Structures are given as C-alpha cells and as structure tokens.
Amino acid sequence: MANSAVGVIFSNVHDENIPELSRHRTMASIPYGGRYRLIDFSLSNMVNAGITTVGVVTKYNYQSLLDHLGSGKDWDLARKDGGIILLPPYSDETDAPYTNRLEALKGITGFLNHRNEDYVVITDCDGIARIDYSAIIAYHEEKGADITMVYHEQVGPVDSGYYMTLTPDENGRVTGLKINPKLKANSKNDVYINVMVINREFLINIIQDAVTRGLSSFGKDILSKNVDTLKIFGYPFQGYYAGIDSLQKYYEHSMELLRKDVRDELFGARDIYTKVRDSAPSKYAEDAHVKDSLISDGCMIEGTVENCILFRGVKVGKGSVIKNSIIMQDTVIGSGVQLDCVITDKNVVVRDKRHLAGCAELPYFIAKGRML
C-alpha cells in the first residue's frame, strides 16, 4: 500500500463559505480544536495511510499556510523524495491564475506527470474526520474504479455554496450525481465530502481532454455528465464527520469536541499531527474554575472557563467568566470580563470588565488582532 498514492490537497476551495475566518488565511489554515488547523486532518490522514508525497494547491492568502506547514517536518513530510510540495498558481502570459478546480488541476499536471504512483487522493480542507485513506484506496482497487468518491450520510440541507450528492447502487457504483440539489429538511442524503481517489494517468488524461475541449467545471462537465460512462464508485464513510461550511457550523462542530466520543474517535489514536510551538504546559491559578473545556498549551487561567475551547497561549484574567466560547491563539482576556458564545480570532485583546455575548446560532465574532 505504501507509496501507491500521491496526495493533493486544495487549500483555498470553500474559502467563501466562511469569510470571517478566511479573510486573512486559506480554508486550510483556519484554526480548529485548540491547536490544529483544518489542513492537519487531511494531511494526517494521508500520512497515516502511508502517503509521503502531498501537493498542496494554493491560490491566495497562503502566508499563514506556509508558516504552518514549514518544511513539513511536523507531519514527517520533510523528505528528499516527495514530502510536502507547495503548488502555488501557475500562469503564463496567456493564462490568469485558475478560477476553477479544473484549471487548478491543469496547473499541477507537471507535478502529477513527475510522480509514478498509481493513484491520486484529492481532498479539500473543509472536513474534520479521521478517515483511513488506505481502506479507500483498497476499495478503489477492488472495484477497478476510475474514480472513488467518499460520501457521508447527512440529514437536511447543506450550508455550503457548492456540494454534490451521490446515488450509489447496491454495488457502490455511482449512478446519479447532483450538484447543489435542493435538500429537504430531515431528508437523508449521501453527500460527497470532498475526498476522492482517482487513477493518476486517468486524471492527467481527463485534464488534457477537458482543456482541449474548453471545459471549465470538474464537477459538472466531467463527473456529472459522465456518470454513465466513467466507473465512479462511492465509498461510504460512517465515522464522525464535521463539515465546516459556515461560521455557525464551525462553532457547532468545534463544540462537539467537548464530547468524549468525538474526541476519542479523532484523537484517541494520537495520530493527528500539527505544527509544534514549544509552549509550556497550561497554568491553572489558585482561583481558576474550569469545567467541560478543551485547553491547549501555554494558557494561563485565573478566572472561570466553562464549555469552551482555548487555543495556545490564551490568558484569562481574574474574575472573568468565559462560557460557550472559542478563544483562539494568544488572545488576552483581562479581568472581570464576561464572554458568552464568542469566537475570538488570534491575538485579540479584551480589556477589563467588557461584557460580550452572542448565541449558539449566531456566535459573536471578533476579528484577528482586534482590541476591545
């Protein structure tokens, strides 16, 4: 299994779903779960499946992503052969940077041509899940598929601006593929979760073909139109999946990490990798009151924290009460502050005695570096 596949991760796709958090960064580098970035989940899944070459497709705002990935050593992907390979937009005199997935794939055909693995695992960064990609590759081989698309049964409408539902037959063959269908409340749908396995040479061929024919949409022009002729299979993922397609979903799914079953599934095996910051262990002062919270390293807690997620290096001053909130890296909360259902982006300063509240449906968001 090892090295039978090369990975490709799209870092910017779906940025528009969550503008608050992607204003200064890629979808891939949105902070999640106290010490992670969204890309850590896809990247760790790849590493854990023995994939040692991962191309990361970028478009804009990717400084924070570069900073996060570094040489790739934190994922054991600082390699002579392969490792993490950043694929910024490629454009020559005639082409502007890509505007859709097909153009983005065209821009990385050089990368794909130079590899010799049989398969390409393509993922986006909008999903939190611990998925065994090697099982999907095995399924893909067993079915003799051209493309295997991973889906997850979801109830009700999907918030994302672009999504697909699949209709697999009893053998797993996808016989129907719809783009952005209207989904009824309480209806169960097999929603594609933006993880696919595809034969590498096949992928190169369809990109070439699409370019010569002037096609523009991978989903519509290639997948949807050719459902009958291509061997597209669906792979059901039945574990925990959190699709991050709006700020509200970001909040809702983040809070699910306070559930033991969710934490055990994602982190129980201790194999989700992330950038290391060398922070000290978190410090709980004499008067700290902490309940039902996920606290990352380097924090200093002197107040009350309930039902929260605290990222690295957060300070909570004396007499402050922080509830139901997500407090990102290096946020400093003074004393006597009250926060409820608040998301603070990185490096926010909340001065003494400020009171702020949102609600679970509409958390109060404070942008990066703001001082209140």
Partner 1 sequence: MQRKKECVAMLLAGGQGSRLYALTNNIAKPAVAFGGKYRIIDFPLSNCINSGIDTVGVLTQYEPLELNEYIGNGQPWDLDRSFGGVHILSPYQAKKKSSWFEGTANAIYQNMAFMKKYNPDYILILSGDHIYKMDYAAMLKAHKATGADCTIAAIEVPMKEASRFGILNTNEDGSIYQFEEKPKQPKSNLASMGIYIFTASKLFKYLTEDDENPNSSKDFGKDVLPAMLNAGEKMYSYRFQGYWKDVGTISSLWEANMDLLGENPAFDVNDPDWKIHSRNPLAPPEYIGDNAVLSNSLISLGCEVNGTVVNSVLSSNVVIEEGAEVVDSVLMAGSVVKKGARVVYSIVDENTVIEEGATVGEDKEKNAGIAVLGRNITIGAGAKVAGGQILDKDYKGE
CA-to-CA dists, residue 14 to 235, 285, 362, angstroms: 22, 41, 20
110 vs 268 by CB, closer to partner 1: 268
Contact criterion met (CB below 8 Å) for 73 and 88? no
Of 20-28, 205-213, 285-293, 346-354, the window that binds partner 1 (rule: CB under 8 A) is 285-293
Cβ atoms < 10 Å from Cβ of 60 = 12
Burial bucket for residue 305 (CB in 10 Å: 0-12, 13-18, 19+): buried
47, 120, 294, 333: residue in contact with partner 1 (rule CB under 8 A) = 294
Strand partners, 316: 301, 333
114 vs 291 by CB, closer to partner 1: 291
The site map against partner 1 for 302-331 (x = CB under 8 A) is ---x---xx---------------------
Of 56-64, 192-200, 259-267, 348-356, the window that binds partner 1 (rule: CB under 8 A) is 259-267
Of 31-39, 112-120, 188-196, 200-208, the window that binds partner 1 (rule: CB under 8 A) is 31-39
Buried b (16+ CB within 10 A) or exposed e, 256-278: ebeeeebeeebeeeeebbbeeee
18, 112, 193, 272: residue in contact with partner 1 (rule CB under 8 A) = 272
283, 352, 369, 372: residue in contact with partner 1 (rule CB under 8 A) = 283
Phi, psi of 279 (to 5 degrees): -80, 155
Place of tokens 């997620």: 309
Q: Does residue 287 belong to the site contacting partner 1 (CB under 8 A)?
A: yes
Measure CA 242 to chain center. 9
Contact criterion met (CB below 8 Å) for 328 and 309? no
Of 12-20, 55-63, 90-98, 278-286, the window that binds partner 1 (rule: CB under 8 A) is 278-286
Q: Can you give the binding site for partner 1, defined by CB under 8 A?
A: 33-35, 73, 258, 260, 263, 266-267, 270-273, 276, 278-288, 290-298, 300, 305, 309-310
